[in-house]
């Protein structure tokens, strides 16, 4: 456990070294978060107005066809937005890993040049999401277990899809196949267990929540509404910033992993041995 934590922390520090050179990379996950909120509002409000969610009140039975159509459209647009800005982030990160000095325009230019593959991948991800949702809802407790396993398998198989789409001129299906092949060849099936980035940030978020909660309680004891509001705002901003950093580091991390898996070896700030041991196949 401690070895995994230490290894993950080393990987995060290497990714942070890249992020420190290009702090503007944080803008991509920020734009992604803003756009996903806009998309959510754009779908939820009309859905209520059209009565597409009326069947939810009786446990989801008898949902109108419109609800499924809107759900697929929502998945599609949300995934497209997320993958677009992830592609921009990964593209900019790859420029830095190649020794360049990327700008926001560079990342957006790279993502804009991959609109059709990104849309195709979003359609695949939306279809997978709908299938997993259907299994979970229609097969009860067993369905939740099955959909959970399938969800993990899909996450592993698609981990490097965005870097593949950015780096190569391939379609979404070929990108998914290549992502799965690279992971199987290089790290086996132990990616999630030894990845650790989420684990590290899980500890960070827990610490921030506890510290933020204590700060809010302390402010509440003063009886000052202004101070309470200020502390709450600061806590929210810090949590959001931590989320943006995690997203940016994840994008940089995936770009470096793809370069290593595809044969480029170590990149700026990343050691090939560190990457190999972090994702060694479980014996």
Which candidate, 191, 181, 185, places its Cα nearest to that of 254?
191
Q: How far apart are CA 41 and CA 36, in angstroms?
A: 9
Residue 183 and residue 191 in contact, taking contact as beta carbons nearer than 8 Å? yes
Q: Residue ranges per domain, the chain?
A: 2-278
Per-residue tokens: 124: 């695949």
DSSP string spanning 117-143? HHHHHHHHHHHHHHHHHHHHHHSHHHH
Q: How far apart are CA 257 and CA 283, in angstroms?
A: 21
Look at residue 214 in the predicted model and tell me its pLDDT: 94
DSSP string spanning 213-281? HHHHHHHHHHT-HHHHHHHHHHHHHHHHHHHHHHHHHHHHHHHHHHHHHTT----TT--HHHHHHHTPP
Residue 172 and residue 124 in contact, taking contact as beta carbons nearer than 8 Å? yes
Look at residue 20 in the predicted model and tell me its pLDDT: 86
Look at residue 154 in the predicted model and tell me its pLDDT: 84
Look at residue 274 in the predicted model and tell me its pLDDT: 66
Length, in residues, of the chain: 283
Q: How far apart are CA 200 and CA 215, in angstroms?
A: 23
Per-residue pLDDT of the chain (283 residues; tens, 9 = 90+): 565 556 566 667 778 888 888 888 999 999 999 999 999 888 877 666 555 555 544 444 445 667 778 888 999 999 999 999 999 999 999 888 887 888 999 999 999 999 999 999 999 999 998 888 888 777 677 777 878 888 877 887 788 899 999 999 999 999 999 988 887 765 543 454 455 667 778 888 899 999 999 999 998 988 888 889 999 999 999 999 988 988 898 888 888 878 877 776 556 666 666 666 655 554 4
């Amino acid at each position: 456990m401690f070895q995994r934590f230490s290894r993950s922390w080393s990987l995060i520090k290497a990714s942070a070294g890249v992020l420190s050179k290009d702090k503007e990379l944080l803008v991509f996950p920020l734009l992604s978060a803003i756009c996903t909120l806009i998309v959510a509002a754009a779908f939820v409000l009309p859905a209520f107005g059209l009565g597409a969610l009326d069947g939810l009140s009786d446990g989801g039975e008898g949902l109108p066809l419109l609800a499924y159509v809107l759900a697929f459209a929502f998945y599609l647009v949300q995934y497209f937005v997320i993958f677009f800005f992830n592609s921009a982030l990964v593209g900019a990160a790859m420029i830095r890993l190649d020794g360049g000095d990327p700008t926001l325009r560079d990342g957006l230019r790279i993502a804009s040049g991959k609109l059709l593959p990104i849309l195709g991948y979003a359609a695949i991800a939306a279809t997978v999401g709908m299938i997993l949702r259907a299994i979970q809802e229609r097969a009860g407790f067993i369905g939740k277990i099955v959909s959970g396993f399938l969800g993990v398998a899909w996450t592993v198989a698609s981990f490097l899809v965005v870097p593949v789409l950015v780096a190569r001129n391939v379609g979404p299906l070929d990108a998914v196949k290549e992502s799965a092949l690279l992971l199987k060849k290089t790290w086996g099936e132990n990616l999630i267990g030894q990845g650790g980035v989420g684990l590290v940030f899980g500890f960070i978020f827990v610490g921030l929540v506890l510290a933020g909660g204590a700060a809010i309680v302390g402010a509440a004891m003063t009886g000052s509404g202004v101070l309470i509001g200020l502390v709450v705002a600061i806590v929210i901003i810090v949590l959001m910033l931590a989320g943006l950093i995690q997203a940016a580091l994840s994008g940089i991390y995936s770009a470096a992993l793809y370069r290593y898996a595809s044969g480029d070896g170590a990149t700026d700030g990343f050691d090939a041995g560190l990457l190999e041991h972090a994702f060694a196949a479980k014996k």
